[in-house]
Chain A
Amino acid sequence: MHLAYPAVLSALLFCTGLYGVLARRNAILVLMSVELMLNAVNLNLVAFDIWLSRAAEDTLHSGQALTLFTITIAAAEIGIGLAIVLAVHRNRGTSDIDRLRDTAEGHDPDHDSPAAGQAEKAEATA
């Protein structure tokens, strides 16, 4: 099989994920896009591992081992990421990334207090 097929597919998937990370508003959708990017990399790793195991007589299978590790780490990452997103959602009442602008120039810390108060109220009613 021509190596360009998996390589091009991987590149396209990566850029799709890139677009998602930059363009999506919901933090969970951003996480999905990150998963896409990771998978694109995995595809690359696997394809080149298969190619090298024949072409260069490589017996370490480092590409596949790394792919497994990446999958594992991605799972851990998605767990922690979701926990963070949920914590943010609880505190701020939103998981929209472009509303979390605490680092903006001229940001007023008191500005967020109504939203936080609403979130607390929501918790209390729940």
Chain B
Amino acid sequence: MSLAAAAVTAHAAGTHALAAHAAPSNGSHGFLSPTGVEITFLLVGLVTFGAALVTVTTRQLVHAALWLVVALGGLAVEYLLLTAEFIAWVQVLIYVGSVVVLLLFGLMLTRAPIGRSPDADSGNRWAALAVAAVAAVTLVWVVVDAFRTTWIDLDGPAAGSTEATGESLFQNWVLPFEGLSVLLLAALVGAIVLSRKAKAEPGSPSVNSGAATGSSPSVPDSRNHPIGRNGASEGTGSGASEGTTPAEQEGAR
């Protein structure tokens, strides 16, 4: 644990207080002979936390999205370590596979600058840092204080296997599951309406004709177009918001 504390301290000077607080609380137990799982969890957790920190602090916008992939992937590994394998693969599929891709599209469509942008952070960052630090101290303190004598028993059959999850999902949670599908449909329609509305605004005829290619009914086409012409904002705007729909469908299933 002293290793972990040192690593955390070295990694992010800004969170020094948190780590210093977390390490003694873990250590004060004096229980430990850390198992292999725990060590692995700790290391992956450090990577995940570091990637998250870089995501919210880097000045290169595209790098932020890529570091987000690392953080989300790390979380998938943590799920696996917690024996929740189905959640882990869903995490990889949806987050790493589609959400991050969508975010990258968004960055491109809003013509985010490539390379370091000096104004990635707003003037609010010191207030934000203070709030986040205090919140972190409070949360960690409360959580550690509450669960310092609690262990998870990871032996036996996996609690989060596909079989167990499927049974519980389709035996006990069918109704919310179906409700969720309606919600996804609503989100789909909402995304379309949002993009259509922008197009229905009175503009020059040339804009409309240009947009017609971007919003052609064929979904794969509309996904391809914006990539080919990522400098254009108008035609790709509608294409991108329609481009979200397959991702959502993927995510839902």
Contact = CB atoms under 8 A, between A and B. Distances in A.
Interface of A: 1-9, 11-29, 31-33, 35-36, 39, 42-43, 46-47, 49-51, 53-55, 59-62, 64-65, 67-69, 71-80, 82-87, 89-91, 95-98, 120, 122-124, 126
Nearest to B53: A16
B168 A64 contact: yes
30 contacts: A1-B151, A5-B38, A5-B45, A6-B82, A7-B144, A8-B140, A12-B140, A13-B71, A16-B53, A18-B132, A18-B135, A20-B55, A22-B124, A22-B127, A25-B119, A32-B64, A32-B103, A36-B55, A46-B82, A46-B87, A54-B152, A62-B172, A62-B173, A65-B173, A78-B103, A82-B105, A90-B237, A98-B124, A124-B206, A126-B234
Contacts of B98: 75
Contacts of B198: 87, 90-91
B15 interface: yes
A2 B28 CA distance: 14
Contacts of A39: 71-72, 75, 91, 95
Given A2-B38, A13-B48, A53-B159, A75 B121 contact: no
A13 B94 contact: no
B203 interface: yes
Contacts of B48: 9, 13
Given A1-B154, A35-B95, A72-B184, A17 B52 contact: yes
A24 B122 contact: yes
Given A65-B172, A98-B122, A35 B82 contact: no
Of the candidates B133, B151, B176, the one having the most CB atoms from chain A within 10 angstroms of its own CB is: B151
Contacts of A69: 176-177, 180
A35 B180 contact: no
A49 B159 contact: yes
Interface string B93-132: 0110011001101110110100000011111110111011
A79 B187 contact: yes
B110 A89 contact: yes
Given A22-B127, A75-B98, 15 more contacts: A8-B144, A9-B48, A12-B140, A17-B52, A28-B61, A39-B72, A49-B160, A50-B83, A55-B153, A61-B159, A62-B168, A67-B87, A72-B252, A74-B99, A87-B195
Contacts of A49: 84, 159-160
A65 B143 CA distance: 23
Q: Which 9 A-B pairs have the closest CB atoms?
A: A22-B128, A20-B56, A75-B251, A19-B132, A79-B244, A15-B136, A76-B187, A23-B128, A61-B168
Contacts of B218: none
Q: How large is the interface on B (under 10, 10 to 19, 20 to 34, 35 or more residues)?
A: 35 or more
A72 to B, nearest CB: 6
A50 B52 contact: no
A51 B55 CA distance: 30
Contact of A47 (B64, B82, B91): B82
Output the residue of B176, B233, B245 with the most chain A CB within 10 A: B233
Given A8-B140, A87-B237, A16 B132 contact: yes
Contacts of B79: 43, 46
A95 B110 contact: yes
A16 B233 contact: no
B68 A35 contact: yes
A17 B194 contact: no
Contact of B110 (A18, A50, A80, A85): A85
